[in-house]
Structure 1
Amino acid sequence: MSTLTRALVIGSSGGIGESLVQQLTLSGRYSQVFAVSRSLPTFPVDGVKYQIMESQHEEAIAEFCQKTAHPLEPFSLVVCCIGCLHGRFENGVQVSPEKRLEDINAAQLQYYFHINTVLPALWLKHLEPLVRGTIAANLVFLSARVGSINDNTLGGWYGYRASKSALNMVLKTAQIELQRRAKNVCIVSYHPGTVDTKLSAPFQANVKPEKLFTAAFTAKQLLSQLDNFSASHGPYFVDWEGKTIAW
């Protein structure tokens, strides 16, 4: 029987998600790569199992995880790339990082928390059957250094900071529970750095060229760290260099 495991990328239509799907497929480490997103990529990768679904509905998340889980075909890696920083969204909410207290408004805060905290938490709730077992498995969630309470020295960006901090708390709390019931699972909160994608595009002006990464680079950096993670020492909050970030 093959010792290869399966991998899943959630939010695979973004820059980092697409790069992860490509590199996971080329790595040869996985018997099957799954990719979940709201739409198909422009250039689908051969052999990848794409699932078009709306993560806004918990029922769809639960159904996907139930159908995909198999005791003889474990997942050793799940990466959740869901997140938002700015833009106008389908419900008419205009989201942009706040520069001062006067910029805070309820609709924007609610959207930040819904996308950056609630949706990843719902996926986390239903992912356990995919990864629980005897083979070491990593659950990786894209977070951000600005979600560190201890590392906050600049202020601003209230909604984004707070929603990523809340995500980190969800992940840290879940690791405690999984150490009792899914001891093979390690949770990782990953800061990819400033990546040249639509998410960071309006905020790149003051970023040094050597600190603006391609999506392919940050995906490669994440995958190179996977063997360093251990469920018994999780959760981890690390950056693209593998350096620990204070919670």
Structure 2
Amino acid sequence: MIDISTHILPGCGDGPESMSHSVEMARKFSAAGISAVFATPHHKNGKYDNFRDDILLNTGRLNTELQEEGISLTVYPGQKTKLYGDLIADLDKGDILPLNDGRYLLLELPYDHVPKYTEQLLYDLQIKGVIPILAGLEHNPEIMEQPDLLYELVRRGALAMIGTSSILGDHKRNIQKFALQMIDCNLAHFISSNHNGSREALQLSKAYDIIGKKLGKDTEYLFRENPQYVIEGTSILKDAPQRIKKKKALGIF
């Protein structure tokens, strides 16, 4: 298994405070059957700034430490960047780090709305060959109220990532239901623990099992395989998006 978004780098915000804590976190990942993770510290979220070169340096140091400790886990560099107006300019400056320094860029929208410039900015990224992955949309009230917004973003080439805690029902039931609807309508493409040492971490396998039981083994397979394609910088597995019907009663959920 590969976890596509974690906070495993030391001293980068809401992750571990020291290298020893990062190593301990890596041991837990490895023991849970996870072979690789992406380090995705927050950037430009109003609280933390973590720039590309710093992340690459710290990821290299952590991987060296894990090799010396004999821990079978590979950490790939990344960044979870808040969507903001100067994103393209900062990408050109070299401040922004796509996952594994490749084609896919992990992004966060504001928690409570979808900025008016979102569609244009995501289009501009794709013109540059960068594929946006939007994180945490199952929590966004504007997306939940107007799911056609999500449909249009995905139809135009954006991808989406859901937190394992949403799949497991650790939040309000409507969030779990909406997350599963996103998957059922091909409007999500990845799940991740977003692990920073909290109790919800290391639940990736359980979340995959839920997807398989509720939505079928073929869907589970797509979600398990897609992180490897991100590492390789190749096209992921996905089906054509469908609209979520607001009053759709999904008995399987």
Measured against the shorter chain, the TM-score band is 0.3 to 0.5
TM-score, normalised to structure 2, is 0.35
TM-score, normalised to structure 1, is 0.36
The structure in which a higher percent of residues are strand is: 1
